[in-house]
Chain A
């Protein structure tokens, strides 16, 4: 690997120049031997990974204990690029795999990083039950409104009338309101941001790293190749500008009213509450029944 330096003489004299190039803050979390990644020009997934990397650094969590689990799809490839204990599982099943990881070793901080189709369509059943149980998982859902990896098929989040390869005349299904779904199933933290809102997104990711319970962040992101191109959005940058123009951050808005339509994307943190996690409930029950005979599971003495 060769690096070439261009250093101006004036800088050397003024003492400003450094002979060492600092590392990109995201690099320590990446498997650099796998760069460049496969995501397209203007794809929003890489942007969310930057936010994730910075959130991890700011949260000061022990990286040894952070696991990333993803499913299949473009966002599913995130696990392959992150230099953590990472797992690229089957389509839709990241959440139950993550459940197994977390329950087998409760000291792990388990992040599920996957796409809308993977988590909500084929993975929908697992999503709602994990939320109901308040399984201590951090779900990062990149919503690009489409099934990208397989060529642009309609997804449960594809907007009405949008063109996709399996809805070539326009989608006639209503899309999910993911924050509403997550809230109604019992998630303790629910937020929606976009790939444009990097500051808020980083902050949200940092918040969930230390919040116990089922946390859900939906990130709206451009898919220039499969969604934007077929739906009159010039490229990823155009879509990011749409996120910038049409997003509304409304304080106190409920998840139910967090609509996405032609006029607006409602963003914000919709839910931030406390509930007993799955393991807390389990330990409580068994301590109740067995008294001192029971050693609470996963609790450091």
Chain B
């Protein structure tokens, strides 16, 4: 039903997961990521929205604020050891 892409930064403190097909392109995660490492991607999902993409993988802290803001449950972050 939904496609999942793993975003896996190299030296990770955090990692995010995005379910592209659930995204409705609201922009909350992009705006409220405290490290500003998300942006709209160029691709479209099936409904015509631009899902987010991570633009600076190394800096993700795994704070999961993107996950808390997402009204569509399409993105979340986890801390990795």
Contact = CB atoms under 8 A, between A and B. Distances in A.
Interface of A: 1-8, 10-11, 14, 16-17, 21-22, 24-27, 30, 35-37, 39-47, 49-51, 54, 196, 198-199, 202, 235-237, 240-241
14 contacts: A10-B10, A11-B8, A14-B10, A16-B8, A24-B73, A25-B76, A26-B73, A42-B24, A43-B71, A44-B71, A198-B65, A198-B68, A237-B26, A240-B32
B17 A3 contact: no
Across the A-B interface, give the 10 residue pairs with the lowest CB-CB distance, nearest first: A46-B71, A42-B26, A41-B24, A198-B68, A24-B76, A237-B27, A1-B1, A3-B4, A47-B71, A41-B26
**How many B residues are at the interface, by size bracket?**
20 to 34
B1 A35 contact: yes
Nearest to B30: A237
Contacts of A22: 17, 78
A50 B25 CA distance: 17
Interface of B: 1-6, 8, 10, 12, 17, 19, 21-22, 24-28, 31-32, 49, 64-65, 67-73, 76, 78, 80
Contacts of B2: 1, 35
Given A42-B26, A198-B68, A237-B27, A7 B8 contact: yes
Contacts of B17: 21-22, 24
B70 A46 contact: yes
B28 to A, nearest CB: 6
Contact of B69 (A10, A16, A198): A198
Given A21-B4, A25-B76, A240-B32, 19 more contacts: A5-B5, A7-B6, A8-B8, A21-B6, A22-B17, A24-B17, A24-B73, A25-B64, A41-B24, A43-B71, A46-B70, A47-B68, A47-B69, A50-B67, A51-B68, A198-B65, A199-B68, A202-B68, A235-B26
Task: Determine which residue in B6, B10, B71 has the highest number of CB atoms from chain A within 10 A of its CB, and name it.
Answer: B71
Contacts of A25: 64, 67, 76
